[in-house]
Amino acid sequence: MPSIVIELTNHCNLSCQHCMEGRHSSDGQSLKLEILDKILQNCKEHGFDHLSFTGGEPTLHPRFNEILKNVYEAGYNFGFVTNGWNFVEMYSQLLPYRDRLRGITFSLDSAREEVHDRVRGRGAYRRLMKAFSICMVKDIPFTINTTVMSYNKGELKEMAELATKLGSRGLRFCHLMPTPGNVEKGLSLSPEECVVIEGIIGELQQSFPMPIIMAPGYHTTNLFPCSPLQSKELNIDWRGNVTLCCHLSGYGNGAIEGDIIGNLDTMSFAEAQKGFIHLNKTFHQDKRERYGKGEFRDSDYFPCFYCLNYFDKVDWLKDDHESPWSSLVWKV
C-alpha cells in the first residue's frame, strides 16, 4: 500500500558531515500534532496505510510516544529512520506497539568505527552497535541504510558482511547528492564513480542472501523509478508542507519551492492529494517530452539529479567549475 513519509522534526542530535546545510539544527522545530491528526483522520480513505517517520532525528519529537500511541490506535503500520544515538533510552516506548512496527532503518555509514564516527561524531558507532543488540534480543525488525561517499566507497562488501552479522533484514545503499558543503569537503562522488559503485552493489546482490538494494537515484533508463513518481509515496515536512519527495524538500534548505504542493495548515488532505497528482502528471509529461525530443544527457539518467535540475535546485553548480557535476546542470 502507498505510504506517507512524515518529517516529525528538523531537530537533530548529531552534526553529520554530509548532512544538507540548514536542513537540521540543534534548536530545530517539530511537526504540530494537529497536522498529524489531520493525516491520521483522512489519509486512509485515499489509500495510505503506512507511515514512515523521518527528520532530523524523529525520536526527538517532544511528543514522540504520544505520536506512536495515536498512530497505533488509528490502525496504521509504521516505521522510522534513526541515527540510533538515543535508542537505548527510548526503545521501550516501541514495545507496546510492536505488532504494527514494520521496521526501523538505522543510518550506518561505515563498517569501521573510526570512519562512521568521522562522519557522524565520536561515539555514534558504539551507540548503534548497542541499538542493534537490543533489536536482536527484543526481536525488533530493522534494516541499515548507508550513504555512499568518498570516505566509505571502498568498503561496500564490508558493510554487507557486517549487516548480515548484525541480523539486519536488509541493506540499502544510496548516493550522496551534491551540495555546496559536501562538494567542498570532497565527499560526493563523480557521476562515473557512482556508476562503478552501482556495479559493485549489483555483484553484492548476487552473493548475499540478505536483500541488498540501491535507493532510487541510481543510473537507470526507467524514467520514473521511485515511489513518489509512481504515486506510492507522499512527503510531508515538519512545517506541514506537502511535497513530492523528502530529498527534494530538504535540499538547499527548501529555498526553492517548486516541489511544494501546499500546507496542511491551510488545505485539506484531499486537496493535498489532488495537488500531488497534478504535480506528478505535469512532471511525467515534461520528462517524457524531454526524452522524446532526444534532449536527455547521461546525467539525466540519474533520477534524483534530474529532479534537482527540474526544480532549479542546483543552479549553484553552474559557477562551481571544480565539481564533476557542474557541467551537467541544464543551461536553459
Q: Got the DSSP string for 185-223? A: TT-SPPHHHHHHHHHHHHHHHHH-SS-EEE-TTS--S-S
E strands, the chain, are: 3-7, 50-54, 77-82, 101-107, 142-148, 171-175, 212-214, 233-236, 241-243, 260-263
Residue-level pLDDT at 24: 62
Domain hosting 186: range is: 3-328
Lowest-pLDDT range of 95-109, 140-154, 205-219, 312-326: 312-326
| Predicted confidence (pLDDT) per residue in 104-128, tens digit | 999 999 999 999 999 999 999 999 9
Give 226's contacts (C-beta < 8 A, 6+ positions apart): 216, 217, 233, 245, 303
Q: What is the pLDDT of residue 192?
A: 94
**20 DSSP 8-state letter:** P
Tell whether the model's pLDDT for residue 102 goes beyond 70.
yes
Residue type, 46: H
Q: Which residue has the cell 548497542?
A: 130
pLDDT at 171: 98
Please indicate whether residue 94 or residue 316 has the higher confidence score (pLDDT). 94
d(CA 67, CA 75): 12
**pLDDT beyond 60 at 253:** no
pLDDT band at 139 (very low <50, low <70, confident <90, very high): very high
- Quick one: pLDDT band at residue 22, thresholds 50, 70, 90? low
Domain of 227, CATH number, reads: 3.20.20.70
- The mean per-residue pLDDT over the stretch 300-313 comes to 92
Beta carbons of 13 and 90 less than 8 angstroms apart: no
Comparing CA positions, the residue from 227, 240, 239 lying closest to residue 38 is 240
The x, y and z cell numbers of residue 46, run together, are 485515499
Least confident residue range of 87-91, 188-192, 317-321: 317-321
Torsion angle of C-alpha atoms 235, 302, 153, 124, degrees rounded to 10: -10
The number of folded domains in the chain is: 1
**Pick from 9-18, 144-153, 214-223: least confident:** 9-18
pLDDT at 331 (0 to 100):
60
Please state whether 257 falls in left (phi above 0), alpha (psi between -120 and 50) or beta: alpha
How much is the average pLDDT of 23-44?
86
pLDDT over threshold 60, residue 1: no
What's the mean pLDDT in 20-34? Answer: 75
Q: Is a pLDDT exceeding 60 seen at residue 26?
A: no
Check residue 220 and give its pLDDT: 96
Average pLDDT of the chain, as a whole number: 92
Q: State the pLDDT confidence band at 306, using cuts at 50, 70 and 90.
A: very high
Q: Is the pLDDT of residue 163 over 70?
A: yes
Band of residue 312 on the pLDDT scale cut at 50, 70, 90:
confident
pLDDT at residue 287, as a whole number: 97
**Residue 10 phi, psi dihedral angles, 5° rounding:** -100, 5
